[in-house]
Structure 1
Amino acid sequence: MLVRIVALLWLIGAPSSLLAQEAFNNGLPQQESDTTAQNNAESAWIDLRQHPSANSRPQSAPSWVDAVNMAPTVEINGASAKTIFRIRIAHPPGDYQVLYFRLFFDDNSNARPELVAWDELGTQVLRSGKLGSGVGLPTSDSVMIPMNGISTLDVEVPGDGKTIRGAYLDWMTTSEIVHPVSAEHRDVIPEPFSSLPPLHAPEQDLEHFGTVTATLASETIPVGSDAQRGAAFQFGIESQPLLALLTFEVASPRIDSPPEVYVNGEDVGAATFTLPELADPAYQGQMESLLKEMRFQYTGWLRAQKLIPVSNLKVGTNDVTIQSGGATPTSAIRGTQIQLKYLWEKSDYLLQTPDY
């Protein structure tokens, strides 16, 4: 999942006068809170799916979420019609300055949403830019919002808004963080539900303690579950490594159907996912006829790794192909990189002799 730090734009402008369609009448029912809850702001999960009124149910939210409205707009002077989901925010008790906003949506190239923040005077304070990457899959994207003076957050999306599924909001706290000066840059902003930051692919090959890290492709590449739609890479080695590890991120996979990896024409097996907590709202259940168990798709980016048998590698050029799992017919990968471990002067190893 990609986290953006949004820069303040300080653009002056008033939001259009909208006849808002109330998505939730009379605001949102407030959850009961005590002194402890007041000192520790609760997170909020807001369902933005457009249910028929007969199937809709009242939602609850923390007291700092004032109201949620949906306002469709019409096409004017050639401008495309869009839908606005408006969330009014009240600052909770405590020194909370930054809000984590994670939006869940279908990542269509012609309907990429944007997040817009307004103050009480109707002045636009910031705009996120287009979220997602247009891969055509269910996904989620995150923004960190400095909330000084901000009272309203708009989700703007082209079309009827049915590609928007929900939003997760959580207030962030700050603390002093120490990190090794010799280590490569890593994101230090913690992700709710996950201990892993987004994967970064180095621009140039790196060598550290006898391990070489090389980027095969940093960009997003669509993949399918057959050979014709696999993502193919080549890399060369000058000597046989002791270990080889392939790492990449996968878009919206079925969690029980990880990608398959092929090395020099041979299937070396499926990769392994690193899963976030099961409380993560990005898990989307799927039921199929004749099956008793619900299957789950992760609507975001998951890190995948595959330890490649070194016997499958050869000195010279090697070919690697990644295909999505059989139950994930369409997906995408990004940040693809390989690590090769060699002996170095301080390698720690034991020479063991068999017991007879």
Structure 2
Amino acid sequence: MRHRIVPLILVGATRLAFAQEAFDHSPTPSAPSPPSALGSAWLDLRQTAKPGSIQAVPAWVESVSLVAADPKSSTASTVFRIRLNKPGDAQSVLFFRLFFDDKPDSQPEVIAWDESGSQLLRSGPLGGGIDLDSSESVMIPMHGIATIDVEVPGDGATVRGAYLEWMTSGELVHAASAGTQDSVPQPFSLTTRLRAPTQDSEQFGTVTASLAADPIRIGSASDQAAMFQFGIESQPLLALVSFEIAGPRIDSPPEVIINGVNAGAVSLALPELADPAYRGEMHTFMNEMQFQYTGWVRAQKIVPLASLQVGANNIAIVTGPNGGASVIRSTQIQLKYLWDKSDYILKPEH
């Protein structure tokens, strides 16, 4: 997760030029603000207004506005400008998650400004140009920041929304083997970022080996699979394949094929259902809405030992039958062996 900043403008009860009406429904100063109203906000930045769609925002989101790109310029950018009023001294860091279509030529940037118009922070291009609906998050230190801009090349149609939540700061205790950045809990998430090891390692009888750290595009056909090869010197007691996947259909997760044998679908460590990254899809002749997660999710699969062999092994990863295109990264395998402190029991048969 990278750390960055952003600005936009929402005017009390005026119509947003690019989306829907925004109303300030926050309580009066005499009434205490509920934690949800104080701590987070969802901003719909789609430029197609739905009839009767109303956007409610907490009082600390002052305004959201759109600065359209010059249609006569081929290199112009669109800016979504968000103006904020920090709710209190305890709120010093803002979690900013942007939802967008991650196209190679339209990667957005988050830029933070102070009241005088001086630029304080700039994220650099977000996303990896994977050509999928995705999302990226940044942590923004809000010292002196009044406005956050989301700047995107073109007409801005690739930007869908933004989720903002105030973070509290304090002393963070984490395992020495985990970086501070990966140890910070993210809203809605149940796991931290999966990192591919730079070299093979062994701990407590478990060998961890990277298969590929870089992103790889996959599909459901055999010629669209991500292919890996690894060797083992002895048969393990347990084997686990792990990776992160962007844009999975949650009802059709990826499948893992070991030495030509389909081991079945992976398990997805899905975030809470309140996460705005869940995007619904309706298909003709289908009564139920299908959902895609427009972000990165950890996936894992226990490998059947009968599928492994001493020597060279081949692993293929494909999307599920209805999964469409996805991208995976940080692919790795763990092999568990007996060690001198292994904990196991012998249970007699009755």
- Counterpart in the other structure of 1:270: 265
Q: Distance in 2 between matches of 1:206 and 1:6?
A: 33
Q: Distance in 2 between matches of 1:39 and 1:244?
A: 42
Q: Distance in 1 between matches of 2:144 and 2:133?
A: 32
Q: Distance in 2 between matches of 1:39 and 1:94?
A: 17
Q: Distance in 1 between matches of 2:116 and 2:278?
A: 38
- Counterpart in the other structure of 1:118: 113
- Which residue of 90, 109, 131 corresponds with 2:85? 90
Give the alignment of 1:46-65 within 5 angstroms.
46-52=43-49, 55=51, 57-65=53-61
Q: Give ranges in structure 1 of 5+ residues lacking alignment.
A: 8-20
User: Is the 1:39–1:94 contact (alpha carbons within 8 Å) kept by the matching residues of 2?
Assistant: no
CA drift at 1:351: 1.6
User: Is the 2:190–2:270 contact (alpha carbons within 8 Å) kept by the matching residues of 1?
Assistant: no
Matched residue type, 1:59? Q
CA drift at 1:39: 11
- Counterpart in the other structure of 1:304: 299
- Counterpart in the other structure of 1:37: 34
- Which residue of 218, 225, 230 corresponds with 1:223? 218
- Which residue of 68, 74, 77 corresponds with 1:72? 68
Q: Cα 1:86–1:351, aligned 2, differ >3 Å: closer, same or farther? A: same
Q: Distance in 2 between matches of 1:25 and 1:348?
A: 59
User: How many residues in Structure 1 have an aligned counterpart in Structure 2?
Assistant: 337
User: Is the 1:260–1:269 contact (alpha carbons within 8 Å) kept by the matching residues of 2?
Assistant: yes
Matched residue type, 2:45? L
Q: Does 1:351 align with 2:349?
A: no
Matched residue type, 2:183? V
- Which residue of 238, 245, 253 corresponds with 2:248? 253
Q: Cα 1:209–1:63, aligned 2, differ >3 Å: closer, same or farther? A: same
CA drift at 1:6: 3.9
Q: Cα 1:184–1:173, aligned 2, differ >3 Å: closer, same or farther? A: closer
CA drift at 1:30: 3.3
Q: Does 1:327 align with 2:322?
A: yes
- Which residue of 2, 5, 20 corresponds with 2:3? 5
User: Is the 2:64–2:83 contact (alpha carbons within 8 Å) kept by the matching residues of 1?
Assistant: yes
Matched residue type, 1:243? L
Give the alignment of 1:162-177 within 5 angstroms.
162-177=157-172
- Which residue of 201, 213, 221 corresponds with 1:206? 201
CA drift at 1:337: 0.4
Question: How well do the aligned residues superpose, as a CA RMSD in angstroms?
Answer: 2.0
Matched residue type, 2:65? N
Q: Distance in 1 between matches of 2:295 and 2:137?
A: 10
- Counterpart in the other structure of 1:178: 173
Q: Distance in 1 between matches of 2:68 and 2:95?
A: 25
- Which residue of 279, 283, 308 corresponds with 2:278? 283
Other structure's SS at 1:69 match: strand
Other structure's SS at 2:54 match: coil
Other structure's SS at 2:228 match: strand
Fraction of identical pairs, as percent: 52
User: Is the 2:190–2:269 contact (alpha carbons within 8 Å) kept by the matching residues of 1?
Assistant: no
Q: Cα 1:138–1:56, aligned 2, differ >3 Å: closer, same or farther? A: farther
CA drift at 1:104: 0.3
Matched residue type, 2:167? M
Deviation digits for residues 297-335 of structure 1 (CA, Å, limit 9, x no counterpart): 100011100000111111111000000111112111000
Other structure's SS at 1:93 match: coil
Q: Cα 1:268–1:154, aligned 2, differ >3 Å: closer, same or farther? A: same
Matched residue type, 2:274? A
Q: Distance in 2 between matches of 1:321 and 1:310?
A: 16
User: Is the 1:241–1:310 contact (alpha carbons within 8 Å) kept by the matching residues of 2?
Assistant: yes
Q: Give the TM-score normalised by the residue count of structure 2.
A: 0.91
- Counterpart in the other structure of 1:14: none
Q: Distance in 1 between matches of 2:252 and 2:69?
A: 40
Q: Give the TM-score normalised by the residue count of structure 1.
A: 0.90
Deviation digits for residues 241-299 of structure 1 (CA, Å, limit 9, x no counterpart): 00000000111011011101100111111111111100000000111122211111100
Matched residue type, 2:158? T
User: Is the 1:273–1:305 contact (alpha carbons within 8 Å) kept by the matching residues of 2?
Assistant: yes
CA drift at 1:354: 1.4
Q: Cα 1:261–1:290, aligned 2, differ >3 Å: closer, same or farther? A: same
CA drift at 1:38: 7.8
CA drift at 1:353: 2.2
CA drift at 1:27: 6.2
